Amino acid sequence: MAERMIEELDEEQCLALIAPGGVGRIAYTSRFGPAVLPVNYALQDGAIVFRTAEHGPLDEDLRTGITGADVVVAFEIDSIDLVGRQGWSVLVQGPAHHMTGPGQDMVRSAGVKPWAPGDRELFVRIAPHRITGRRVGPA
């Protein structure tokens, strides 16, 4: 088997990899314990934006009940080539903020199109505090 290597990616490399948008996973502490859910996302002005169902489980779990307070989440995006045994992974950590008013228009302009059926009119923005990544592949 060919030699393998792990390469740490800097923030600029991470942002370049996730810039096209697509599907990522939001990880957070729900009412019932740790949860990880896939969502369609876009990268807009260095932040992750996505849409979900208003009053759904994700919406309720991301509300703190305190005005202006946000839940800190993790958001992971990756690309994996199982046959080639290579790929990359980017982890974004920061607060998830419900966008309202003009903020909704900003997120809407990112063009995120949820795959899941039904109304997805809750707009969420994750403002990164930390972005890390790594790539694994042949040496």
Residue with tokens 């088997």: 1
Give the model's pLDDT for residue 70: 83
Give the model's pLDDT for residue 34: 94
Give pLDDT tens digits for 43-85: 999 999 998 888 888 888 887 666 667 889 999 999 999 999 9
- Quick one: tokens of 130? 């930390």
Give the model's pLDDT for residue 25: 97
- Quick one: tokens of 112? 């995120």
Give pLDDT tens digits for 11-54: 999 999 999 999 999 999 988 899 999 999 999 999 999 988 88
- Quick one: tokens of 101? 């008013």
CA-closest candidate to residue 73, choices 45, 48, 92, 53: 92
CATH number of the domain where residue 73 is located = 2.30.110.10
Give pLDDT tens digits for 102-137: 777 777 777 787 777 677 778 899 999 999 999 999
- Number of structural domains in the chain: 1
DSSP, res 116: S
Task: Note down the domain range covering 58.
Answer: 4-138
Helix runs in the chain, H state only: 11-18, 57-61, 102-109
Cβ(94)–Cβ(59) below 8 Å: no
